[in-house]
Structure 1
Amino acid sequence: MSGEPTPAPARESRPTPAPSRPRPRPDAATAAELTEDAIVRFRGDRPTQGWRGTLYGLTGGLINPGIGPVERARQEQLRRIRRPLPGSHQIAVSSIKGGVGKTSVAACLGLVLAENRGDRVIALDANPDAGTLADRLTSEVSVTVRHLLDNIEATHSLTDVARYTSLAGRLQVLASEQDPAMSEAFNREEYERVCEVLTRFYNIVITDSGTGLVHSAMEGTLALADSLVVVGAPTVDGASRASKTLDWLIAHGHAARVANAVVVLSCDRVSREVDRARVREHFEARCRAVVEVPHDPHLATGGRIELSRLKPATHDAFLELAAHLADEFGAGQRPVEVSRATVPSYP
């Protein structure tokens, strides 16, 4: 009809050009990113603690209220500890003062890292005064770092290295020389030769160093360390010596290591007259993190250490320490060799 408007001619539709795809970059990512935590969609975490765990268990899993904040924090902590490490990472545990729990810290840190990671971890006793690291972990001191040094030219595989170590759970332990006259000869050059071998086959090398900061082996420890742990105590002498350790390191060109260090306050000796919060604040202002390890009857015996016998609060403290150190994993690490020989299986 003449009264109706004439429809406008249909406009020819043109396909929208597809956006150009960016060119692929083969080095944009690595296989280390494809972990279970990153790509698996969990239908719901299963609670194991508190009323949530009780409800989940009583209903046979039909009612899942999810995990609480405590379990969620623990899961996040374990994710940090299990962070992929593409190469090797050396951790030095040091103190200018003896008797503050340095060896206990090195031993428990090694046990926690080895228990919660899938790669290879070794603890090396570099104490020049007949160290007790192996005594605290395996009680095996008949074979020491001196035997490895004597045969280092013939050490070409993980199996070769394992001849000189003992096993504490999944942690390999390399004992120090027990004869003080011989251990004094363990100098920087020899320490560096040992670490050159260890970092070829182990992802994490923990060094329990001596208390002498000017000792030759200690110079090598500081030169090679990727992470530094300084052990002190919330007492006048323990805190003062730990802070003096940091002063000495800064004075000798290690200010960056101090800023990135983790301070452990071993609370075996405590006093109500000491302001522990003030001590903690002092080290928090100087270093990356501070961890307090509570008094533990099992560690106080001075005997062989077993993680299962630690108090929960003590175990938690070492998990916290391991998580802080694992936060630094992966930055500029040395590659670890793959041994062609048979790799010893872990229990």
Structure 2
Amino acid sequence: MDGTETGWGRSAEPAPRWRALLDRARLGGRTAEQAEADHRSEDASPRESLPRRGSGGGWSGRGSASVPPADPGYGPDPGYGPDPGYRAEATYRVDPAYRVEPGYQADPGYQADSGYQAEPGYPPDPVAESRYALLDSGYRPEPPPESRYALLDNGYRTPGYAPPEPAYPQPQPAYPEPGYPVEPAYQPPEPAYPPAVPTDRGYPARIEPARIEPARIEPARIEPARIEPARIEWRQQAPRDEQERAAGILRRDLGTPRVLAFANPKGGVHKTTATVLAAATVGSVRGRGVLAWDDNELRGTLGLRAGSARHARTIRHLISDLAHIEIRDGAELLESLDDYLRHASDGSYDVLAGEESPRFAQRLDQFTVKRVLELLRRTHDVVCVDTGNNVESANWRTVMQAADQLVVTTVPREDAAFSADWMLDLLHEVGMGELADNAITLISCPTPGRSPLQDDLERHFATRTRAVAVVPYDPALETGSSIEYHQLQPETRAAWLRAASVMLEPFAR
């Protein structure tokens, strides 16, 4: 050994310090080569032979020297001596069988420790036959440090080592500058005690401030939320709010001009009255652009009960000049058509009266009716048509086909209700079932009070039409004379306002 330890796959490393101390104490200043030569010289002595490795994994014979003897003239350094500070362990004992080789000269300056006693039975240390002798005898190297920097982390510094100076100067704090006064740290003021209070003993007593204990906050107790059953409360709508809503619907834009057809084959069911009051109600809200047309080919009475009789012109005169009026447009068209119309007393709606002669009905064919409806659509937003009683006439069917909204009028009587129900079946048969399903049933009360049949009629027509509207009895309508909207009772006008809004609600935008 030359003072280094080697291993498989790693370079030589300096032997640990304890190994050098052990060799120094055991060999007495001799080198490892001299010690090995001494051991080889013992082979000729009568001592018990050392076992050696044999073939087949066994031990046999005496070990033979594998190296030449050391140079006789070679000896230890005369100035070499043991370490003065070295002390062997108390349990260390010299092997009794160990004998100094002949020719061995101890160092003259070496003094053995007087209290040193060799350990009995300590065998001499044979020369290791392989690099693994120490491992075979139980030697285990110390575990390596966790990292190459472990000694530095533990504060270890090699003697004489000084860390290199940094390549750049260390930054100096910019604040505070030298000579700048540093304000002292803030100290909260001490509490001012209350003044001393004189007592009966003659010396003042100081009142200590009350000690406030922190309040103890109990953790909130969370209770599971209690789910109450849902309740639906019906709030009756105020009459005023309902009227404002209905009037708002009538003021809206209807998109295109709309035709409302009031029909029932039975006479005396308030078709003419319903046509006039519907036009008067819508006209009172919209201001203008509403017309009521009496299309009864058998001498209708709408012209007599509505509008001022400022002239005697009817639908017959309009048809005679229809070709000259159709070619006009704008204000000129309105001015030309106004000569054939009558007006309500308040100017809220216009009236196109029917012909009193029954022979005129033959001239109202489907083409003429279409031309009249197209002309009225050009000048008015809402056209209310009072139809006749002949459901087989071309005039009646043409109005049904051109109508945007059908209003079935009836009174609380069985014959009137039967006629209205039969007409709805007829419309389904001729392919106008959609018009019948979207119709409005208008029940007019001809007498005060509520008829027992009214409830049955409301339930029945509610299943056949889109909605059912009921208008009450009004004394102003009982005489059958001229109909004046402003003479109706407030309850009657409010009922007609609701009914008219239901008629136009599908078209309001």
> In the superposition, relative to structure 1, how do residues 161 and 275 fare at CA in structure 2: closer, same or farther (>3 Å)?
same
| 1:149 maps to 2:325 | no
Q: CA deviation at 1:251?
A: 1.5
Counterparts of 1:72 and 1:271, CA distance in 2: 26
Quote how far apart the aligned CAs of 1:325 are: 1.5
Is residue 172 of structure 1 aligned with residue 350 of structure 2?
A: yes
Q: CA deviation at 1:187?
A: 2.0
Deviation digits for residues 45-74 of structure 1, max 9, x if unmatched?
A: xxxxxxxxxxxxxxxxxxxxxxx8221121
Match of residue 457, structure 2, among 267, 279, 299: 279
2: CA distance, partners of 1:128 / 1:253 = 24
Distance 1:312 1:184 in 2: 42
The offset of 1:206, in angstroms, is 0.9
Match of 2:439 among 234, 250, 261: 261
Is residue 126 of structure 1 aligned with residue 304 of structure 2? no
Distance 1:299 1:129 in 2: 22
Residue in structure 1 matched with residue 242 of structure 2 by the alignment: 73
**Equivalent in 398, 411, 422 of residue 244 of structure 1:** 422
Q: What amino acid is aligned across from residue 305 of structure 1 in structure 2?
A: I
CA displacement 1:89-145 (0-9 Å, x = unmatched): 111111110001110000000001111014411111100011111111125371011
Task: Tell me the equivalent position of 2:307.
Answer: 138
Q: Secondary structure at the match of 2:257?
A: strand
Quote the Cα distance in structure 1 between the aligned partners of 2:442 and 2:324. 38
Q: For residues 167-211 of structure 1, what are the alpha-carbon distances to aligned partners after superposition, in whole Å with 9 as ceiling and x for unaligned?
A: 002211000111111134222221111111111111111111111
Q: Which residue in 2 is equivalent to 1:289?
A: 467
* Equivalent-residue separation in structure 2 for 1:69 and 1:274 (angstroms): 27
Change (3 A) 1:69 1:257: same
Determine the C-alpha separation between the residues in 2 that align with 1:270 and 1:167.
30
Partner residue, 2:337: 161
Are the aligned partners of 1:82 and 1:326 in contact in 2 as well (CA < 8 Å)?
A: no
Counterparts of 1:250 and 1:130 in 2: how far apart (Å)? 28
| Aligned 1:1-347 pairs, distance under 5 A | 69-138=238-307, 140=309, 142-155=312-325, 156=328, 157-168=333-344, 169-268=347-446, 274-329=452-507
State how far apart, in whole Å, the 1-side matches of 2:297 and 2:348 are.
Answer: 26
> Which amino acid is 1:103 matched to?
T
Larger Rg computed on CA atoms: 2
- Shifted more, 108-117 versus 294-303: the winner is 294-303
Q: 2:412, 2:451 within 8 Å by CA — same for their partners in 1?
A: no
TM-score computed with the length of structure 1 as normaliser? 0.72
Q: Secondary structure at the match of 2:300?
A: coil
| Offset of residue 267 of structure 1 | 1.4
Aligned partner letter, 2:324: A
Judging changes above 3 Å, is the alpha-carbon distance between structure 1 residues 309 and 272 closer, same or farther for their aligned structure 2 residues? closer
State the distance in 2 between where 1:206 and 1:233 align: 20
For residues 76 and 231 of structure 1, what CA distance do their matches in structure 2 show? 24
- Bigger relative contact order, structure 1 or 2 (CA pairs below 8 A, ≥6 apart): 1
Taking a change above 3 Å as real, the CA distance of residues 149 and 74 of structure 1, as seen in their structure-2 partners, is same
1:131-166 CA distances to partner (integer Å, 9 max, x unpaired)? 111111125371011111100111121111111001
Q: After TM superposition, give the deviation of residue 302 of structure 1 in Å.
A: 0.8
Name the residue aligned to 1:40. none
Greater fraction helix = 1
Tell me the secondary structure at the aligned position of residue 290 of structure 1.
Answer: strand
Structure 2 portions without partners, runs of 5+: 1-236
In the alignment, residue 339 of structure 2 is paired with which amino acid?
R
Counterpart Cα distance in 2 of 1:184 and 1:315: 38
Conserved? CA contact 1:292–1:317, under 8 Å: yes
**2: CA distance, partners of 1:326 / 1:190:** 26
Q: Taking structure 1 as reference, are residues 284 and 118 closer, same or farther at Cα in structure 2, changes over 3 Å only?
A: same
Aligned length: 264
2:100 is aligned to none
Q: Which amino acid aligns with 1:87?
A: T
Say whether the 8 Å CA contact 2:315–2:354 is kept in structure 1: yes
Q: Secondary structure at the match of 1:231?
A: strand
Letter of the aligned partner of 2:290 in structure 1? Answer: V
Distance change (3 Å), C-alpha of 1:273 and 1:135: closer
1:79, distance to aligned residue in structure 2 (A): 0.6
Task: Provide the rounded CA distance (Å) in 2 between the counterparts of 1:264 and 1:150.
Answer: 35
Query: CA separation in 2, counterparts of 1:139 and 1:183?
Result: 24
Seen in structure 2, the aligned counterparts of structure 1 residues 287 and 163 have a Cα distance that, compared at 3 Å, is: same
The CA distance in 1 between the partners of 2:426 and 2:384, in whole Å, is 22
More divergent stretch after superposition (180-189 vs 123-132): 180-189
User: Is there any run of 5+ residues in structure 1 with no aligned partner, and where?
Assistant: 1-67, 332-347
* CA offset digits 1:254-308 (Å, max 9, x no partner): 1101111001112115897743211101001111111112222211111100112
In structure 2, the partner of 1:33 is none
